[in-house]
Amino acid sequence: MSRFFGWGARIGAMMNENRGGPWGSGGGSGDAGGGGGGGPRNPWGQPPRGKKPAGGGTTGNVTSLDDFLKKSKERFGGRFPESGGRPYWLYGLGIFLILWLLFTSFHRIGPQERGVVTRLGSYSSTLSPGIAMTLPAPIDRVQKIDVEEIRTIDIGSTDASSENLILTGDQNIIDLAYSVRWNISDPELYLFQISNPEETIREVAESAMRAVVAGVSLDDAIGAGRSEIEQRVEQTMQQLLNDYNSGITVQGVAIKQSDPPAAVNDAFKEVSAAQQQAQSYINDARAYALQLTAKAQGEAAAFDKVYEEYRLSPEVTRRRMYYETMEKVLSRVDKTIVEAPGVTPYLALPEVQRRAQEGAAR
DSSP state of 1: -
Look at residue 22 and tell me whether its pLDDT is greater than 50: no
The pTM assigned to this predicted structure is 0.51
How do residues 309-340 score in pLDDT, each as one tens digit?
Answer: 888 888 887 888 888 888 888 777 766 665 66
For residue 119, the tally of other CB atoms under 10 A from its CB is 13
- How far is the CA of 115 from the CAs of 79, 140, 249, in angstroms? 45, 12, 19
- The pLDDT tens digits of the residues spanning 275-318 come to 889 999 999 999 999 999 999 999 999 888 888 888 888 888 78
Q: Please, which residues bridge with residue 132 across strands?
A: 107
Give residue-wise pLDDT tens across range 200-255: 999 999 999 999 999 999 888 888 889 999 999 999 999 999 999 999 999 999 99
Report the C-alpha gap between 163 and 177 in whole angstroms: 8
pLDDT 10s digits, 84-133? 556 677 878 888 888 888 888 888 898 989 999 999 988 888 898 988 88
Nearest alpha carbon to residue 257 among 140, 153, 163, 362? 163
In sequence order, what are the residues at sequence separation of 6 or more whose Cβ sits closer than 8 angstroms to the Cβ of residue 87?
69, 73, 80, 81
Measured between alpha carbons, how far is residue 225 from residues 212, 218, 255 in Å? 11, 9, 11
Whole-number percent of the chain with pLDDT over 90: 32
- What whole-number distance in Å separates Cα of residue 193 and Cα of residue 177? 29
Which of helix, strand or coil describes residue 267? helix
C-alpha 16: how far from chain center: 75
pLDDT score recorded for residue 87 = 67
Per this entry, what is the length of the chain? 362
Share of the chain above pLDDT 70, in %: 70
| Mean pLDDT computed over 339-353 | 63
Strands 140-146 and 173-184: unpaired
Mean pLDDT score, 152-160: 83
Please state, in angstroms and rounded to a whole number, the distance separating the CA atoms of residues 22 and 84.
Answer: 35
Spell out a b/e string for 172-211, using b for 16 or more CB atoms within 10 Å of the CB, else e: bebbbbbebebebebbbbbbeebeebeebbeebbbebbee
- Looking at residue 331, what is its pLDDT? 77
Residues 6+ apart with CB under 8 A from 91: 83
Distance, in Å, from the CA atom of 215 to the CA atom of 194, rounded to the nearest integer, reads 30
Structure confidence at residue 336 (pLDDT): 61
